[in-house]
Structure 1
Amino acid sequence: MKKFRIGYRTIKTAIGTALSIALAQYFGLEFFTSAGILTILCIQTTKKKSVHAVYTRFVASLIGMAFSFVAFELFGYNPIVLTVMILLFIPTIVIVGAAPGFVSSAVIMMHIYSEANFTLDLLYNELGLMAIGFGVALIVNMYMGDIQKTMDNYRIEIEELYRKIFSEIVEYLENGDTSWDGKELIDAENVLNKAKSLAFKDVENHLTRKENAYYLYFDMRERQLEIIERVLPKITALPVMVQQVELVANFMKDLADHVHSGNTARSFRDKLDIVKKEFAEMPLPESHEKFVAMASLYQFIEEMDQYLEIKQSFKGLKPIE
């Protein structure tokens, strides 16, 4: 059973609905409760979605009034005319990209139908309802809760998971410990999915911004996770332990101690170059099994170079205060 909670979107809907109805009633508009309905239909999860919602509903409502005037005044206010009008109206708003506004426009059209007399007063009344209903929705939707702290928490969580994964790799290389169940890999994927979704919502809450540093950061970490998942079998399937294991283990231990949001990838790629050079200077393997183990380790460090290259292309985030 889900926990009962009242989110800020629910609060905005309640306040916006009451405010719209109060304003419409104050100005003496007919069907004043419909202003609240129009507001409810426009409350969205992000600012960009809110602006788009108001736009599509406003356009659809204007088209709906035009259709209502022509259809009802020319052919009469009866259910058959209403049916034919809706059959023609829906494809029209689909063509102009205002299909999400159908319900809002239907509210306006039903007012006209119920009055059975399209007058200037009725036109002004409906325009007033639209102005209040859509306007209030737009205003209350300009407030969005601060998600900075949540994104920072995701950032800390994913970095801690990466440290744990690297530490488990070191544990295996140094001690041959195979008890790790890989839970952190699943956790990391889940955290990244939630984090990217939240970061995208933050982008949608800035009308002129198309991306943000957090979204780029979590996207970068997701691409790194793909590499980690790809290279793990190369480490966990070593037929024997060879001299090169110590080099790789020391490098991974150092990397695990320095997982953060800044950009130190260049220095670690330099360290990896040193590892590669020392790797190449070591004696050639004496057996097929050692050759396979050495090859797997070399493939591993090449993949880790790609891991660092992805990080190097990222500018980094400001430290968490």
Structure 2
Amino acid sequence: MRIGLRTVKTAVGAAVAMFIVQALGIANWWVAGVLTVLAVRGTTRVSFRLALHRIIAAIVAGAMASVFYLLVGFNPWAYGLCLLFFFPVMVALRMTEGIVEGAIVATVILTNGLVNRTQLTGLLIIVLVSSAVGVFLNLFMPNVDDKIQTHQTAVTSVMIAALQSMQEELGDGVDAQATDGNGSTAADRVWVQLAQAKEAIDHGRRWTFQHYDNQILAENDYYRAYFEMRNHQYELLRTMQTCLDEGNGQLEEREALHDIIAATAKLLGEETPSATLMTAVKKIKRNLLQNPLASSNDGLVMRNETLLFARSLGELLNTKRQFALVVNAQK
């Protein structure tokens, strides 16, 4: 049986909160344990918002419960009426996370069968203590940087492999339908590699969201921006491979594109793509626009696919370049 960090934090926090409230001589100290269990969350930012919502919910629920119990009596009908009005108020305030805590406060008042300043003050202190303990424990979150960086490496590696497979498709004298020992063409390998890239990107983004939510003062969005950049490049690589599929690997400026793809594969992990490389892509696009149009339908299709391929390749390089410029500007 595996016991996770959150389980340990919850158990320790509940006990600590009850000890604190009990030491303060406040009745119903056990409530602090229940509220602390509800306070421990998976991310730090969420716990701060939740703490505020719980405190407000406790005040609102305590006030409503006091009014209904004094008017209707300490009975289930009064409790039901209290919740009937309390729930919509919390929804209107967009503080639904505090509903359960508010209901617990109303339940404790009903169980005690009395309404006085001492009890209400004690319940407010219980909520404050349990919220503070929950927030404190949520400051201790596992470091997910290593997991994110693992997915970063995986994305870069598999994208480089996809570019190398495209390079193979554009090679001189290469049959686009030729298969390897596993019966796969270069195009087949590209699509498999792109699927792997997307999987790594999605995993990385999920860890990135958790990383961001665990930051309190820092507003470092580097990881989120990185995976957004790679996701855009993934879409561009899909477009490029579709162009190769439509043209059966026979694109115009094939030799030049082959060399640029080879260079791109080597530089994909670098901070900033070579300006020379981007100039080479612009030259290909300029040549394509200046060359006479083909007379055959197949020739026109090849021209269009080559243009789209070159534009996507240029955007792929520029996307990484713009990302690097933004990152460097923030250093």
TM-score normalized with structure 1 length: 0.88
Change over 3 Å in CA distance of 1:111–1:273 after alignment to 2: same
**CA separation in 2, counterparts of 1:100 and 1:205?**
19
Q: Please report how far the alpha carbon of residue 19 of structure 1 lies from its aligned counterpart in structure 2 after TM superposition.
A: 1.5
**CA separation in 2, counterparts of 1:259 and 1:58?**
50
Partner of residue 314, structure 2: 305
Structure 2, unmatched stretches of 5+, are: 179-184
Q: Please report how far the alpha carbon of residue 281 of structure 1 lies from its aligned counterpart in structure 2 after TM superposition.
A: 8.3
Given that 2:54 and 2:127 are in contact with CA atoms closer than 8 Å, whether structure 1 keeps it comes out as no
Query: Secondary structure of 1:28's partner?
Result: coil
Structure 1, unmatched stretches of 5+, are: none
Given that 1:71 and 1:81 are in contact with CA atoms closer than 8 Å, whether structure 2 keeps it comes out as yes
Q: Does 1:107 align with 2:99?
A: no
Whichever residue aligns with residue 152 of structure 1, its letter is: Q
Partner of residue 63, structure 2: 66
Q: Please report how far the alpha carbon of residue 144 of structure 1 lies from its aligned counterpart in structure 2 after TM superposition.
A: 1.8
Partner of residue 78, structure 1: 75
**CA separation in 2, counterparts of 1:151 and 1:63?**
41
Q: Please report how far the alpha carbon of residue 116 of structure 1 lies from its aligned counterpart in structure 2 after TM superposition.
A: 0.7
Partner of residue 43, structure 1: 40
Given that 1:242 and 1:293 are in contact with CA atoms closer than 8 Å, whether structure 2 keeps it comes out as yes
Q: Does 1:204 align with 2:192?
A: no
Q: Does 1:186 align with 2:195?
A: yes
Query: Secondary structure of 2:212's partner?
Result: helix
Q: Please report how far the alpha carbon of residue 160 of structure 1 lies from its aligned counterpart in structure 2 after TM superposition.
A: 0.4
Q: Please report how far the alpha carbon of residue 211 of structure 1 lies from its aligned counterpart in structure 2 after TM superposition.
A: 5.2
Change over 3 Å in CA distance of 1:160–1:194 after alignment to 2: same
Change over 3 Å in CA distance of 1:71–1:219 after alignment to 2: same
Residue deviations 1:260-301 (CA, integer Å, cap 9, x gap): 151225443123234446667889868654553344223211
Which of 247, 264, 286 matches 1:255?
264
Q: Map of 1:213-228 to 2, 5 A cutoff?
A: 213-228=222-237
Name whichever of 44-53 and 232-241 sits farther off: 232-241
Given that 2:169 and 2:249 are in contact with CA atoms closer than 8 Å, whether structure 1 keeps it comes out as no
**CA separation in 1, counterparts of 2:296 and 2:212?**
55
Q: Does 1:118 align with 2:127?
A: no
**CA separation in 2, counterparts of 1:116 and 1:279?**
85
Query: Secondary structure of 2:267's partner?
Result: coil
Partner of residue 145, structure 1: 142
**CA separation in 2, counterparts of 1:251 and 1:233?**
18
Whichever residue aligns with residue 191 of structure 1, its letter is: A
Name whichever of 218-227 and 143-152 sits farther off: 143-152
Given that 1:42 and 1:54 are in contact with CA atoms closer than 8 Å, whether structure 2 keeps it comes out as yes
Change over 3 Å in CA distance of 1:45–1:170 after alignment to 2: same
**CA separation in 1, counterparts of 2:241 and 2:96?**
49
Change over 3 Å in CA distance of 1:80–1:289 after alignment to 2: closer
Partner of residue 88, structure 2: 91
**CA separation in 1, counterparts of 2:82 and 2:113?**
15
**CA separation in 2, counterparts of 1:272 and 1:303?**
10
Given that 1:170 and 1:249 are in contact with CA atoms closer than 8 Å, whether structure 2 keeps it comes out as yes
**CA separation in 2, counterparts of 1:252 and 1:315?**
20
Q: Identity percentage over the alignment?
A: 21
**CA separation in 2, counterparts of 1:26 and 1:64?**
25
**CA separation in 2, counterparts of 1:69 and 1:151?**
50
**CA separation in 2, counterparts of 1:31 and 1:255?**
67
Given that 1:239 and 1:289 are in contact with CA atoms closer than 8 Å, whether structure 2 keeps it comes out as no
Given that 2:72 and 2:78 are in contact with CA atoms closer than 8 Å, whether structure 1 keeps it comes out as yes
TM-score normalized with structure 2 length: 0.86
Change over 3 Å in CA distance of 1:244–1:271 after alignment to 2: closer
Change over 3 Å in CA distance of 1:267–1:203 after alignment to 2: farther
